[in-house]
Structure 1
Amino acid sequence: MAVDLSRLKVLVVDDNGYMLTILRTLLHGFGIKNIFESRDPAEAFDTVRADAIDIIITDYQMDILDGLDFVRLVRTADDSPNPMIPIVMISAYSERRRVQKARDAGVTEFCCKPVTARDVFAKLTSVINTPRPFIRNKSYFGPDRRRAGVEQPTYRGPGRRASDQVEATSGEEAGDSNADQGGANAA
């Protein structure tokens, strides 16, 4: 199925000019005409405030303000015009802890360098075709971090949180045969 990306406005934030060129070339190849570029995350935030950007692609590690700080700024700043904008983070550092930090900052998708056209296209179409609901609590605002629950909404097994386990144990002691159902939706 062909996807028309021509009307998207994509902001690419990377302090490496060579990487900006690679991403611009890929995005043009996908038919995207409105590409905004910035080497400075603070300047990029000004672009987000000034233009109706549809998707942000940002590098993880940059000088002064890094990608995680930039994502948090977009997600939580009082003057952020669209805190729910899809954000794809790219990085050569793909250790589990870094990916988790990106997820916890509010990144929508994570793409490892060296990037390929297939990977970037998959991330873009993912944020468009299967948007994830947003969660707000005391310590986090961003896309739902529970991919398994989103992909398998009919899951009926036990929940993963400690409180779910207590509820399931209490229900079993009370003779409730449905104690293992419903806990997963709260996980």
Structure 2
Amino acid sequence: MINIVKTILRGFGATQIFEARDATEAFHRLKHDSIDIVITDYQMEVLDGVEFIKLVRNSSDSANRYVPIIMLTAHSERSRVLSARDSGTNEFCCKPVTAQELHRKVVAIVNHPRPFIKTGGYFGPDRRRKMDPKYMGPERREGWSEDHKPPVKGKKLTQDPHDPDSDVA
């Protein structure tokens, strides 16, 4: 599957694709390489995809807590989709992934980034895809703040979202 994803990404024009054997190596890569988008699998050794995403989003040792993440899985049960969403993934793709579907997810991340939310038990992109015009209750998404917004639209995804003029090392 990794070779298929790499071929699809090259077809999109990606020139640098880093591959990691497991979540530990992927986390190390995030700390030492400039990564624009992470594509991870739900089922991995050592840490599964959900645990890996939580590590990226919540660890004080994380190099870029805002990096866009797409999760792939062969199992699309509702519980897995919700688990991935609640871990902080930006997008979710079911295997076998097609070029069209992966392209749609990448475009969504780049062109329509969702604001990041920080609550007592969650840090990641806003899990609500749209506002419900019929909702009349209180606004409970209090986590929106200047230090929890996604990268500035139109800027490189490797830039610090708080300082659009500086690259993340």
TM bucket normalised to smaller: 0.7 to 0.9
> How far does the alpha carbon of each residue in 1:35-93 deviate from its partner, in whole angstroms, 9 at most, with x for none?
00012110010000001211000000112211011101100111111101100000011
The match for 1:158 is 135
The match for 1:30 is 12
Give the letter for the 2:16 counterpart.
Answer: N
Question: Is there any run of 5+ residues in structure 1 with no aligned partner, and where?
Answer: 1-18, 165-182
Distance 1:141 1:81 in 2: 15
Q: In the alignment, does 2:82 pair up with 1:100?
A: yes
Mapping of 1:91-130 within 5 angstroms?
A: 91-130=73-112
User: Quick one: percent identity of the two aligned structures?
Assistant: 51
Out of 45, 56, 60, the residue aligned to residue 74 of structure 1 is 56
Q: Greater relative contact order (Cα 8 A, min sep 6): structure 1 or 2?
A: 2
Give the letter for the 2:90 counterpart.
Answer: T
Distance 1:31 1:140 in 2: 33
Structure with more helix by fraction = 1
Q: What is the root-mean-square deviation of aligned Cα atoms in Å?
A: 1.3
Q: In the alignment, does 2:135 pair up with 1:140?
A: no
Structure with more strand by fraction = 1
Q: Tell me the TM-score normalised to structure 2 length.
A: 0.80
Q: In the alignment, does 2:44 pair up with 1:59?
A: no
Cα distance, 1:99 vs. partner?
0.2
> How far does the alpha carbon of each residue in 1:108-153 deviate from its partner, in whole angstroms, 9 at most, with x for none?
000010100000000011100000000001100000001122xx7x
Give the letter for the 1:60 counterpart.
Answer: Y
The match for 1:21 is 3
Give the letter for the 2:118 counterpart.
Answer: R
CA contact (8 A) 2:117 2:125 kept: yes
Distance 1:52 1:68 in 2: 22
